[in-house]
């Protein structure tokens, strides 16, 4: 299998209280998985707070070096130092963070962030080309440049702002999106609209998405495969439906039983099927 992304025995260890304290924290322990280059998918990383999900995502994004193990994107080591290789990588791998209100400088207009992405990573110069690139990305999330031009972050709702964050990630036409708890700060009424949007990005734009969450309901709805983490280690992995319908590890069963009943599994399975063939009105 040609890999878009490959992690091989990746670990991250921190020293609490400094190098001289001697207290080591294993935030991530020997994690391995791969995403195929020729097949887009939504790959969920699931676990409670402190499970190591965000630390793992920071290593995938090249924001943090692993203590051991290797991470490769399109067959090359993920670059962490500034330079041309890093810019090329960032054009192809884009993040979406948990809190949209913290993702944008409140003193700067929203459209500025999209235009900078278009210029730095999308190859669009200033003017009409940048306008077209930004407007096309906003259209994908149910917005337009006319709606957000000249506006500050506080002038948009949380749902609108998170959709702008997704649009910013789409401007460079990435191959992979790393979404860290992207619906946890959004009203419950808007969560499914964003989850359905991710499914369309996978199906229509052929973008693979690493979906980091503790929300098993949304993970069950849209994920193709998943990986469950506890205290930095992988306890279970595989097909999303198979794992969440019949988890084998005690921790996986505890997570599932705390959120999903047999009735809700049936409900989400039905939604998952219908989401493939229907459009979500909220993002149109």
pLDDT digits (tens, 9 = 90+) for 42-100: 999 999 888 999 999 999 999 999 999 999 999 999 999 999 999 999 999 999 988 88
* Count: domains in the chain: 1
Could you give the CA distance from residue 201 to residue 283 in angstroms, rounded to a whole number? Answer: 13
Residue 130 maps to a domain: yes
Residue 158 maps to a domain: yes
The model's pLDDT over 173-217, given as tens digits with 9 standing for 90+, comes to 999 999 999 988 777 778 888 899 999 999 999 999 999 998 888
136 lies in which domain range? 78-174
260: pLDDT strictly greater than 80 = no
Q: How confident is the model at residue 24 (pLDDT cuts 50, 70, 90)?
A: confident
Contact by Cβ (8 Å): 210, 43: yes
Residue 88 maps to a domain: yes
Cα–Cα distances in Å, from 97 out to 24, 37, 51, 236, 247?
27, 24, 17, 25, 28
Residue 143 maps to a domain: yes
Could you give the CA distance from residue 271 to residue 283 in angstroms, rounded to a whole number? Answer: 17
Query: The domain that contains 150 carries what CATH number?
Result: 3.40.50.300
Residue 57 maps to a domain: no
Q: How confident is the model at residue 280 (pLDDT cuts 50, 70, 90)?
A: very low
The model's pLDDT over 89-120, given as tens digits with 9 standing for 90+, comes to 999 999 998 888 888 999 999 999 999 998 88
Cα–Cα distances in Å, from 91 out to 3, 86, 168, 178?
18, 9, 11, 13
Residue 144 maps to a domain: yes
User: Which single residue is written with the structure tokens 């039983």?
Assistant: 257
């Amino acid at each position: 299998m040609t890999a878009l992304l490959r992690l091989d025995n990746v670990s991250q260890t921190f020293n609490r209280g400094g190098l001289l304290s001697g207290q080591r924290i294993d935030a991530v322990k020997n994690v391995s998985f791969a995403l195929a280059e020729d097949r887009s998918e939504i790959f969920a990383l699931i676990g409670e707070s402190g499970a190591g999900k965000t630390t793992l995502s920071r290593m995938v994004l090249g924001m943090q070096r692993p203590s051991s193990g290797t991470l490769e994107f399109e067959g090359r080591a993920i670059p962490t130092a500034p330079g041309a290789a890093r810019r090329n990588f960032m054009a192809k791998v884009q993040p979406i963070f948990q809190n949209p209100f913290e993702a944008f400088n409140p003193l700067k207009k929203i459209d500025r962030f999209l235009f900078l992405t278009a210029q730095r990573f999308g190859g669009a110069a200033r003017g009409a080309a940048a306008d077209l690139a930004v407007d096309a990305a906003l259209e994908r999330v149910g917005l337009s440049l006319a709606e957000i031009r000249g506006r500050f972050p506080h002038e948009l709702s949380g749902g609108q702002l998170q959709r702008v964050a997704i649009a910013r990630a789409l401007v460079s036409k990435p191959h992979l999106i790393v979404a860290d708890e992207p619906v946890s700060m959004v009203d419950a009424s808007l969560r499914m609209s964003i989850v359905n949007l991710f499914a369309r990005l996978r199906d229509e734009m052929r973008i693979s998405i690493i979906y980091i969450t503790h929300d098993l309901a949304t993970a069950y709805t849209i994920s193709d495969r998943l990986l469950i983490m506890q205290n930095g280690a992988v306890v279970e992995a595989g097909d999303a439906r198979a794992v969440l319908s019949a988890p084998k590890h005690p921790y996986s069963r505890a997570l599932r039983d705390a959120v999903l009943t047999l009735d809700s599994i049936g409900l989400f399975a039905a939604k998952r099927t219908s989401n493939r063939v229907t459009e979500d009105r909220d993002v149109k």
